[in-house]
Amino acid sequence: MDARSIMGHTVHRGLSMNRYFVFLFISFRFAYGDVSYSIAEEMKRGSLIGNIAKDVGLGIATLSSRKARIDTDRNGKRYCDINLSTGDLITTDRVDREGLCGKKATCVLKEELVLENPLELHRINVHVQDINDNAPQFSEDLISFEIGESADKGARFLLTEAHDADIGTNTVQRYNLQNNAHFTIDAGGSGRKHPELVLVKKLDREQEKELKLVLTALDGGSPQRSGTAIIHVTVLDANDNAPVFSQAVYEASLPENAPSGTLIITVSASDADTGPNGDITYIFDHVSDDHVSLFSLDQRTGDIRVFGTIDYEIETSIELRIRAKDGPGLASYCTVIIDITDVNDNPPAITLKSMTNPIPENVSPGTEVG
């Protein structure tokens, strides 16, 4: 059957006739009551809209004899037709409310029932109801943020809103954020469409460098539809950690007269921050000038070496204070105790003073004489 070409022909003729009718309508005001129907969008092709013959008050026989047909003022696109043997108005094409009317609150297909002998025109308004056939959608799957760990509780970060091609309650109604310790979502009251991410617990980069949270937008349709995006938060470092020495007190022993350059001990501190915030340098802290000339401290490695002559006979133990500081200047301290060990570098010396101590000749053996 060549229904398509017949239909095309009808439509074409309909268009030119239509102007004629509009003219007639205005001139002679031959108006009949409007007929209104309401259908859900996306109904199957061939679905019943209503019985137009009954609603207009025409017998089935009259439909054929008066050449009843459906016309439209749109460019050739016809969404419904009349079945002449039943008087039913049926859909002839997919009716997509979003395609026809977008975000308009009401969507009406305007058709006309045309009868001849005498000419008679009935306007048909088919109200297309939205169904929840579209899910909320975010414009991007990944929403990235860089948030400093120093950000205060209560800080807010604006999020992109989700869109839903449907209207009314079938469009986005609320947002959900995956349960987590740091953030909640504030979808805002009336007037504000953009949801906001709200910091409820301070971030700590040393605990968690990044967070990935699922954000869900939900519509109010039935069945409910949803769309998701991932919120990726990169936590930026703040200098919230001071260097920490591996030991508060380091102990080492050093033989006196150790050759210059001998490594005594290495102190070591670590800093949980990154970059300059975690960059450590070591320096002597309040070390006497005498000792500064005896020891060297490597600023980067923490190596302590001897560089002078140490004499056990002068000092048996030396205490040094060392400071580790990071880039911005947070510092901590440690103590290095160096035990100087004796080396046999001195010959025995006997100091004799002359003395006179007379003893009698009969002195018994064992008597101390000096």
Ligand X SMILES: *[C@@H]1O[C@H](CO)[C@@H](O)[C@H](O)[C@H]1NC(C)=O
Residues that bind ligand X (CB under 6 A): 83, 85-86
Q: Identify the CA nearest to 274 among candidates 247, 324, 240, 244.
A: 240
H-run or E-run covering 13:
helix 3-28
Q: Which is nearer to ligand X, 63 or 187 (CB)?
A: 63
Q: How far is CA 353 from CA 156, 349, 370, in A?
A: 91, 13, 11
Shortest distance (Å) from residue 90 CB to ligand X: 7
Distance separating alpha carbons of residues 115 and 122, to the nearest angstrom: 9
Residue nearest to ligand X (CB): 83
Shortest distance (Å) from residue 189 CB to ligand X: 52
Q: Which is nearer to ligand X, 85 or 356 (CB)?
A: 85
Q: Which is nearer to ligand X, 60 or 337 (CB)?
A: 60
Q: Which is nearer to ligand X, 82 or 197 (CB)?
A: 82
Q: Which is nearer to ligand X, 86 or 226 (CB)?
A: 86
Q: Which is nearer to ligand X, 87 or 221 (CB)?
A: 87
Shortest distance (Å) from residue 86 CB to ligand X: 5
Distance separating alpha carbons of residues 204 and 97, to the nearest angstrom: 49
- Any residues with CB less than 8 A from the CB of 161 and at least 6 apart, and which? 172, 193, 194, 195, 217
Give bridge partners of residue 147 from the DSSP assignment. 235
Shortest distance (Å) from residue 16 CB to ligand X: 24
Shortest distance (Å) from residue 84 CB to ligand X: 7
Q: Which is nearer to ligand X, 85 or 190 (CB)?
A: 85
- Any residues with CB less than 8 A from the CB of 158 and at least 6 apart, and which? 194, 196, 197
Distance separating alpha carbons of residues 68 and 59, to the nearest angstrom: 11
Shortest distance (Å) from residue 3 CB to ligand X: 8
Pairing of strands 183-186, 263-266: unpaired
Shortest distance (Å) from residue 53 CB to ligand X: 12
Q: Which is nearer to ligand X, 124 or 143 (CB)?
A: 124
With 0-12 CB in 10 A as exposed, 13-18 as middle and 19+ as buried, what is 337? middle
Shortest distance (Å) from residue 80 CB to ligand X: 12
